[in-house]
Each structure stands twice: as C-alpha cells, then as structure tokens.
Chain A
Amino acid sequence: MIRPGLYTIADYAVTTAVASLALSPLADLEGMAELSIEFNFAYGSGGTSVKAWLQTSLSQGVRWRDLACFSATTASKNRDFSLRRTADTGFWTPGSGTLADDTVASSIVFGDRLRLLVTSVGTYAGGTVLSARAAAA
C-alpha cells in the first residue's frame, strides 16, 4: 500500500433523518491488503436508529460495494473488526446499502477508496456522533 496509516473515515454528527447519505470518500488507498476498523456511536438524545455501511469502489467511485454494516439505536456503542482481502472460490454479488446490521461481507475486495453510506431514522440531538476510523495496511 502506498500510504499505510490511520485514517478518519468520518466523524458524522447525526441530526435529522437521512436516507443513503454518501459522505465524501477517502481516496488514494490503492494496494490495501488489510483494514482494521473502529466504529463508535456516541449517543446524545432522540432518534431511533442509524446504520452506516463501510464501502469501497473498484470503479473509481461509479459503483460502491458494502464491506461492513454498523448499526446503532439509542445507546452508545463501539465495535471494531478487521478485514483482509480474500481469495474467493466463486462469484459474489456486491450490493450497496444492503448488508445486514452488524455484519461483514463474505467476500472482501479493496478498491482505491473508502466511504460511509449513512441512513438514520428519527431526529438525533444532544451531540450524537457516529465516527469511523481505519488502520489501513
């Protein structure tokens, strides 16, 4: 990888409801082989649920595919996991915003960029923040 290191994928202040909001991507990450991710949801008040899909793209941002899905409701939550490129034995049909809550894709590929796709229900307040950090290598 050209630039291994620790990256902030996003610190997103969750307020009004959003549907499939794509945050701006981190780019120039070609050559990734491993990715350690931390999702942190700091709950303030209000709201109903929030989901964030960690996504990558192999088509320079034209099509995005889910790598993992993090979900939270009305309590603070912290999760981390590692992803590694896998050699698949068959085809995998990628999706965007379709991976189930708190799961990781069965097939892992890394493009040259990462982003978060966020959907939230209800109006969060009290400084609710969803953040995602990545150690890429």
Chain B
Amino acid sequence: MNIHLARLNRDLKRKGERIKLRRYAGTNTQIFTEVDLLAFVRGYSPQQLAAGSGIQAVDSFVILSPTALFAAQWPGGQQPLEPPFNPDPHLPKKGDRAIIQGRTRTVEVASPIYDGDELVRIEMRVLG
C-alpha cells in the first residue's frame, strides 16, 4: 500500500470520527446506498472564510481514505460514461450526503488526491 495512504488509514483509525456517506437515487421514492467511514472533519479557518471564497462558517472540510470506499464498493454499479469522461465510480460527488455528528450535510465538492496513479486521499467540502 502507498505510504501516504497507509499513514492516513493509521491516523484515521486512531483519531478519525465515524461518518456516513450516502448516495441517493430517485426523486419521488428516494433510495439510498450508504457506507460507514472514518473521517477527519474540520472547520475552516478565518483566512479561508475570506469574502469571495464562497466558503461559509457552517461548512466543513472532510478528509476521507479511499480504502473503506473501495472495500464497500460504494455506491455500487454506475452507468459508464463515454471516455475520456469516466471518473472513478467510487468517488463522492456533489449532491451526495454526509451524516456527520447526527446531522445530514451536503457534499459540495469532492477532490481526489493522487500519488502517481494511486488515489490516496479524498477531500470534501460539505455544506450545512
């Protein structure tokens, strides 16, 4: 395993908080698929909340490891897109929900971080 990913997994196991990530399908009858994860959840600093950044004081910065997402194969089979637009189906995306400390929050941005070709970390901004 990549050293950065191994270190993140170890740190999450020691100090991470348990969250849930949900992907909804449907509108009238909503069906969701959920995965339990360990994450680091942080607020944004005053500098990051500067005017024009678009970041609100209630938003949070969340760091995830891809290991648990891949093990659970969340969120299941997806409709493949035409190449080259074929992102990793396991990545969270805008509109997914994160249940953090009992509150449902909405994923605004999820950024995959790669070390070479290997996905080693996922950073998200969640709203609300």
Contacts and interface: CB of A to CB of B under 8 A. Distances in A.
A binds B: yes
Contact of B27 (A8, A126, A131): A126
Interface residues of A, number: 28
A75 interface: no
B26 A128 contact: yes
Interface in B73-128: 73-80, 89
B26 A26 contact: no
Judged by DSSP, the binding face of A is strand
Interface residues of B, number: 21
A5 B73 CA distance: 11
Interface string A1-27: 001010111111100000001111111
Interface string A115-137: 11000000000111101000000
Nearest to B27: A127
B31 A131 contact: yes
Interface of B: 23, 25-33, 71-80, 89
6 contacts: A8-B75, A23-B79, A24-B80, A42-B29, A44-B26, A127-B29
Interface of A: 3, 5, 7-13, 21-28, 40, 42, 44, 76, 115-116, 126-129, 131
